[in-house]
A = this chain, B = another copy of it.
Amino acid sequence: MQEALTILKKHKLSVTEARMAVLNVFTDNEEALSHSEIENHTSGFFDRVTLYRTLQTFVEKGLIHQIPTTDNSVRYALCKEHCEEGHHHDEHVHFVCNDCNRTICLDHVIIPKVRLPKGFQTSQVDMIVKGTCDECK
């Protein structure tokens, strides 16, 4: 697939089978995925360690972003644009459906600014909304 290749080059990463495969999983799936889901989507073709390292570099280089969870299974989603090395601009809301259990990036729902108490400085904000998604309602 063309897109994955473009993304890798754009971020100056060498092109390998594992990276292409993982990126394709993301471009094929709209939702945010956990490590184990990615492992399944790549049919266990790659070593578990390779996936850990691949995901780690993708996060560091700004190809994907992490979504916090309460179930010890961090999820990852493709960054749309503007995400730079070390600094993510994915300030959109993430939605977790209680029914189908999907995690969806609501790209057009911007996280509102909040006023913090004196002395607190913000570097990054995450907002996770749980409920029922449009397909499950």
The answer for the CA separation of A6 and B114 in the assembled complex, in Å, is 34
The answer for the CA separation of A130 and B122 in the assembled complex, in Å, is 6
Contact B68 A95 (CB under 8 A): no
Contact B120 A131 (CB under 8 A): yes
Query: Within 8 Å CB of A124, what residues of B?
Result: 129-131
23 A–B contacts from the bound complex (CB under 8 Å): A67-B70, A68-B68, A68-B69, A68-B70, A69-B69, A70-B74, A70-B126, A71-B74, A93-B116, A106-B120, A109-B116, A111-B114, A111-B127, A112-B112, A116-B129, A117-B134, A118-B134, A120-B132, A120-B133, A125-B127, A125-B130, A126-B129, A128-B128
Residues of A within 8 A of B (CB): 66-74, 93, 95, 98, 106, 108-109, 111-112, 114-135, 137
**Extra A-B contacts (15), CB below 8 Å, given A106-B116, A108-B117, A119-B133:** A67-B70, A68-B68, A68-B126, A69-B69, A69-B74, A72-B72, A98-B123, A114-B129, A119-B135, A120-B129, A121-B137, A122-B129, A123-B131, A124-B129, A127-B127
